[in-house]
Amino acid sequence: MTGRLPHSLRSDALDNRERILDASRALFAAEGLDVSMREIARRAGVGPATLYRRFPTKQLLVTEVFTDEMHACHAIVEEGRADPDPWRGFCLVIERLCELHARNRGFTDAFMSAFPDAMDFAAGREHTLASIAELARRAKATGRLRPDFVLDDLILMLMANRGIHATSTATQITASRRFAALMIRAFQAP
Amino acid sequence: MTGRLPHSLRSDALDNRERILDASRALFAAEGLDVSMREIARRAGVGPATLYRRFPTKQLLVTEVFTDEMHACHAIVEEGRADPDPWRGFCLVIERLCELHARNRGFTDAFMSAFPDAMDFAAGREHTLASIAELARRAKATGRLRPDFVLDDLILMLMANRGIHATSTATQITASRRFAALMIRAFQAP
DNA sequence: ACGCTAACGGACGCCGCCGTCCGGTTGGCT
DNA sequence: AGCCAACCGGACGGCGGCGTCCGTTAGCGT
């Protein structure tokens, strides 16, 4: 999945790898993608060389870390699509997506291709967006979603959602929820 | 206004001061507040020492640079308040405010108190927000603005607007305009 | 138990920014 | 014209991040 096989790694190496990923997850979620490699290594209790040996590029580390979140994205969209009421499903997707991104600053950066050449991500992103587009088409058919809604509006929303910062995670999520509610109202047909 | 009197400055010093402010304006608008002092000095064609001599703190430079924008903010809100139709005025304020912030990344950072101790700014900000609140009250009375609108929603909007980035300024403004339109729909009473 | 090799991390050189100091320059007043 | 103080900017030491090298450690297979 990453090109680097975790097999054929010595036990201590594997252990360090895990610690690096844990540290990355925590730091990326809290601070975004622009944490220094050094800081990740420190947090993981590992020398810089070890970090670079396992993940020569920050890019590789990022894609590895956010594979789960990417799957979560898919899952959210699929759940929305499975809803018998497309508009309800659409709203659910928006709410959940905003919360996911609010919980994980780094994932938003990655999703918005802060790393322009994260091809793995771009592919997953496009697939997710296409699914949302399909859901939006059905939601429009019910007359609840504005006919002039375009996919760019959703991207705009995610970009905007990224701008919302707060001191605590709890406040952050509350604010993001409020924002999602506003956007849903904006997307609703008059 | 800044504590540093531009009077009693030698002509060359005054000239450099102007060049520093110009460079800062350009860089802050384009890149936000996190440009290095060095870069500002380079852009202004001035040594680092000169920059620090004139503005010992980045904070001082920022407040000086964005005084104009702060006034523009006031003006926008006052114009909105002057509109005989409060809802129309409210919408105008939102559109103009979004555009102003879209044109100037650094100002948004400053306005959102990226510098937590920019007291001058905080005061101006609070005054502006209070004016908007008054306008909102009247707009609610007309029944066009949602009764549950709160000032935090506007701050949320500005934070969100900051998240919208684009490669070119033109695209940026287009996106921001679209966003403003969405938010207005969100704020409109059902 | 032993040895081989993967894996470790401290240390290195490089770079850019920070805020400051100081010897040279220049504007402005007499 | 000549002086003096205000002003200039190159240069400095400190810090932190970058990616890499290499001497040492310790997992694992026999």
Q: What is the mean pLDDT of residues A176-190?
A: 98
pLDDT tops 60 at residue A5: no
Q: What is the mean pLDDT of residues A112-130?
A: 80
Tell me which residue in A159, A165, A186 faces B182 most closely, judged by beta carbons.
A186
| Within a domain: A132 | yes
Q: What is the mean pLDDT of residues A52-81?
A: 96
User: Of the ranges A50-54, A117-121, A154-158, which one carries the lowest mean pLDDT score?
Assistant: A117-121
- In a shared domain, residues A72 and A160: yes
- In a shared domain, residues A45 and A104: no
- In a shared domain, residues A59 and A89: no
| Within a domain: A4 | no
pLDDT tops 70 at residue A115: no
User: Of the ranges A1-10, A81-90, B62-71, B145-154, which one carries the lowest mean pLDDT score?
Assistant: A1-10
Q: What is the mean pLDDT of residues B123-144?
A: 96
Interval B84-130: pLDDT, tens = 999 999 999 999 999 999 999 999 999 987 666 666 788 889 999 99
% of chain A beyond a pLDDT of 70: 94
Domain boundary among B47, B65, B83: B65
- In a shared domain, residues B113 and B35: no
DSSP conformation letters of chain B: --SS-STT--HHHHHHHHHHHHHHHHHHHHH-S---HHHHHHHHT--HHHHHHH-SSHHHHHHHHTHHHHHHHHHHHHHHHHSSSHHHHHHHHHHHHHHHHHH-HHHHHHHTTSSTT-HHHHHHHHHHHHHHHHHHHHHHHTT-B-TT--HHHHHHHHHHHHH---SSHHHHHHHHHHHHHHHHHHHB--
Domain boundary among B34, B49, B65: B65
- In a shared domain, residues A172 and A89: yes
Q: Which residues of B touch A162 (CB under 8 A)?
A: 163
Q: Which residues of B touch A163 (CB under 8 A)?
A: 159-164
- In a shared domain, residues B77 and B131: yes
What is the span of the domain harbouring residue B44?
Answer: 11-65
Query: How many structural domains compose chain A?
Result: 2
Q: Which residues of A touch B182 (CB under 8 A)?
A: 153, 156-157, 183, 186-187
pLDDT range class, residue A8, cuts 50, 70, 90: confident
- In a shared domain, residues A108 and A163: yes
Highest mean pLDDT: which of A163-172, B3-12, B45-54, B114-123? B45-54
- In a shared domain, residues A147 and A71: yes
Neighbours of A185 (CB within 10 A): 16
| Within a domain: A6 | no
- The whole-chain average pLDDT of chain A stands at 93
Q: How far is B1 from chain A (nearest CA, A)?
A: 31
pLDDT range class, residue A2, cuts 50, 70, 90: very low
Instruction: For residue A85, give the CATH number of its domain.
Output: 1.10.357
| Within a domain: A165 | yes
- A→B interface, C-beta within 8 Å: 152-153, 156-157, 159-165, 175, 178-179, 182-183, 185-187
Q: What is the mean pLDDT of residues B53-67?
A: 96
Domain boundary among B22, B47, B65: B65
- In a shared domain, residues B104 and B166: yes
At residue B117, the pLDDT reads 63
At residue B114, the pLDDT reads 61
Q: What is the mean pLDDT of residues B48-72?
A: 96
| Within a domain: B1 | no
At residue B187, the pLDDT reads 98
